[in-house]
Amino acid sequence: MFNDGGYQMKNISVPLAMALAASLLSFVSWSKQPNILWIITDDHRPDAISAYNQATRGTNESYLGYVSSPNIDALAKEGVLFTKAFNQAPACGTSRTSMHSGRYPFRTGKYAWEQVHQDADFMTPAVSESLRDAGYGTAIIGKTHHGIRKHFNGKSDIFDLEIEFNRDLHRNGFGGWYSTGAYGLTDGVLLRRDATETIMYADGTKKVITLSKADRLLNAEEQAVKASVEEEFDILRAYTRINKGLILGGVNPQPADKTVDAYITKEFIRYLDNADKTYSSSWGAQFQGADTNKPVFVNLGFHLPHTPVLPPKEFRDQFKDKMYHLPEFDTEELATFVPQQMQIYNESKTHAMKPEEQQQAIRDYYAFSAFGDHLIGKAVKAFKDYSNKQGREYLIVFTIGDHGWHLGEQGIMAKFGSWKESLNGAVIVVSSDKQTFPAGKVIDKLVEYVDFAPTMMAAADIQVESMEYDYLDGKDLALVVNNPDLERDYILGEMNLVSGHRAYLRSHDFAFSMRTRDKRTTAQTPYLNDNITWALTAAPLKVDMALYDLRNDPLERNNLAYTKEYLALAQWFRQKLGNIVLGDGRVEMDWSTKNSYNISNFADGADDKTLDIPKELIPPKGIKDIQRPNY
């Protein structure tokens, strides 16, 4: 006899009883799965969040000045704030591929803008696929940019529903400012090409301005139209090579409820509000709403505060009288840059900007971030309401920036570097299960963006600690919160953009980075992992080492790698990092093929998460009279 709450089942055969028991266990497991909302903002500095500043500095303001984030602050009070979260690649596509795969770039073979595909033998499922297999309905709405296709020459197909802000919103006339391209670099060569911007006014009219022509300079009429629009919207542009024409400040042509990020939020809410039925999007496409018979997983990708930095007027007005501290930068700091760092500087530098222009860039950036806080508040409320109506638990993972953004630190307004402002983000994890993610808790342990995939998978009752998921490079953040002994000594990353292949390793006390390959080109057959130990054996100067002693220099203004006092330590880090990213499962894949790749394992197991630095290599904290490098 099987008794469940007074209901008796008699004379049932053993096989049938076992099947019913298995079905019940399956239902119990399914019912434990929470709805999951994964929010990612773009180019978002964590110091745009007052709760982060309170946790790290004891004040609501960033070290530059005033910020506003009431909704995100409230979210942080509901859950756990991780203040030392670091991305694995400081650029949109590379960082997002790493997050969606839960793997380091050197183990996915994506180092730049490559479109990866899963037909390659070494590829593993994306987090959305694992959740879909576990019974979830999946959707990605807004900025996608994960760069993962299911099949070679095929579509992505790693979500049930995909709504992309550029393809589906901008190109259908929604949003305020749409760019078709600008100047750019390919392997260090400056290219000129046709580039326009479409401005969409609040009354529905449009105006197209020309930024550049491939075959000539702008004529007088084109220049006049461009200048008129820029004056109308108080546009501040960058005029360095890679960022030529990049909008660093201005006012949005649209009111707050009609910007592209507002429409991203609307499409997310529309997806939830039309559960179990077909509905029309803002541009008339037909989609299927959330399936209430399944737990839902949504990746909500905001474009803000990415360029063009154009906060709507009502938010910009809140910041118009604020004055900010401008980050310090001088020629002595510049003198310590290695060639790769100089390339990033030359292509993103701010030294030609007037102080009032730098003030505008900072002011508009934080205003745009405040607008993001407003939209995130709306999205979170809609998600909680949906979960409550469904009677299901929920998990919210808010990734504060797919990477960071410099507002003058290191003399640049950009990302792409291996400095803190490019790499350090934060994450807020909120759960209806307060035992797992307690309200108001702050964690200062080092965590990585590869941790997000196993965190969400574990919440979905996937056994991520089993051998089946050994490919995941990260850890479930629930374990990080609840196990005081779970600590890693460093974080990792690598990218091949702007300055070529560069990897980094950071601990609480030191930040180290280096050139990893002696070429800039993407991987091509048959040159896959060729000359792979170059960075370990080349002359030290060729490897462009950078070492910052964070105990004395938290703003990373003095590269000490080639000083007499720190050279031996830099060489030690060179071997540690080089062995990990070059010899512990490094993949180089020719993505123009279906399955041509090479895996380097000459230092298998080098990524042991520990730093056993010989004590004699560590200079004393506060050392003075350091001999500057002489290149």
Residue type, 342: M
Residue 216: its pLDDT value, please? 86
Query: Distance between CA atoms of 597 and 588, rounded to whole angstroms?
Result: 6
What residue has token string 């205003």? 367
Please choose, from the candidates 524, 610, 538, the residue with its C-alpha nearest in 3D space to the C-alpha of residue 574. 538
Residue 4 DSSP SS3? strand
What is the DSSP-derived secondary structure letter of residue 350? -
Structural contact between residues 252 and 260, judged by C-beta atoms closer than 8 angstroms: no
What is the DSSP-derived secondary structure letter of residue 626? P
What is the DSSP-derived secondary structure letter of residue 525? T
Query: Distance between CA atoms of 63 and 326, rounded to whole angstroms?
Result: 9
Element at 553 (helix H, strand E): none
Q: Are strands 441-448 and 137-142 parallel, antiparallel or unpaired?
A: unpaired
The predicted-structure confidence for 188-224, as pLDDT tens digits, reads as follows 455 567 889 999 999 999 999 998 888 888 899 999 9
What residue has token string 């222009």? 357
Query: Distance between CA atoms of 41 and 165, rounded to whole angstroms?
Result: 13
Residue 571 DSSP SS3? helix
Residue 107: its pLDDT value, please? 98
What residue has token string 């540690």? 576
Residue type, 49: I
Query: Distance between CA atoms of 190 and 264, rounded to whole angstroms?
Result: 34
Residue 194: its pLDDT value, please? 82
Query: Distance between CA atoms of 393 and 166, rounded to whole angstroms?
Result: 32
Please choose, from the candidates 620, 594, 467, the residue with its C-alpha nearest in 3D space to the C-alpha of residue 122. 594
Residue 191: its pLDDT value, please? 56
Tokens for 296?
């839902």
Structural contact between residues 551 and 612, judged by C-beta atoms closer than 8 angstroms: no
Residue 309: its pLDDT value, please? 98
Residue 18: its pLDDT value, please? 44
- Polymer length in residues for the chain: 631
Residue 184: its pLDDT value, please? 52
Residue 57: its pLDDT value, please? 97
Residue type, 512: F
Tokens for 414?
């950009």
**Domain spans of the chain, in order of start:** 1-31, 32-482, 500-617
Dihedral angle computed from the Cα positions of residues 200, 204, 208 and 209, in that order, rounded to the nearest 10 degrees: -50
32-482 homologous superfamily? Alkaline Phosphatase, subunit A (3.40.720.10)
| DSSP secondary structure of 585-606 | SEEEE-TTSSS-EEEE-TTTT-
Query: Distance between CA atoms of 442 and 76, rounded to whole angstroms?
Result: 9
What residue has token string 């391209």? 181
Residue 108: its pLDDT value, please? 97
Query: Distance between CA atoms of 278 and 77, rounded to whole angstroms?
Result: 36
Residue 182: its pLDDT value, please? 54
Residue 241: its pLDDT value, please? 59
Q: Per-10-residue mean pLDDT for the chain, 631 residues long? A: 30 43 42 92 98 98 98 98 98 97 98 95 97 98 95 92 95 90 52 82 94 87 94 92 80 98 98 98 97 98 97 98 96 95 93 93 98 98 97 98 97 96 98 97 98 98 97 98 95 96 98 96 94 98 98 96 97 98 98 97 98 96 70 52
Displacement of CA 185 from its chain's centroid (Å): 22
Structural contact between residues 449 and 108, judged by C-beta atoms closer than 8 angstroms: no
Please choose, from the candidates 250, 240, 239, the residue with its C-alpha nearest in 3D space to the C-alpha of residue 177. 250
Exposure pattern of 111-147 as b/e (b: 16+ CB <10 Å)? bbebebbbebebbbbbbbbbbbebebbbbbbbbbbbb
Please choose, from the candidates 35, 138, 139, 74, the residue with its C-alpha nearest in 3D space to the C-alpha of residue 387. 35
- pTM for this prediction: 0.93
Displacement of CA 624 from its chain's centroid (Å): 37
Structural contact between residues 88 and 447, judged by C-beta atoms closer than 8 angstroms: no
Query: Distance between CA atoms of 331 and 333, rounded to whole angstroms?
Result: 5
Q: Can you list the pairs that 356-362 forms with residues at least 24 positions away whose Cβ atoms lie under 8 Å?
A: 357/236, 357/249, 358/326, 358/408, 359/323, 359/324, 359/326, 360/234, 360/236, 360/248, 360/249, 361/236, 361/248, 361/249, 361/309, 361/407, 361/413, 362/64, 362/65, 362/324, 362/326, 362/407, 362/408
Residue 21: its pLDDT value, please? 44
φ/ψ region of 234 (left if φ > 0, alpha if ψ in -120 to 50, else beta) reads left
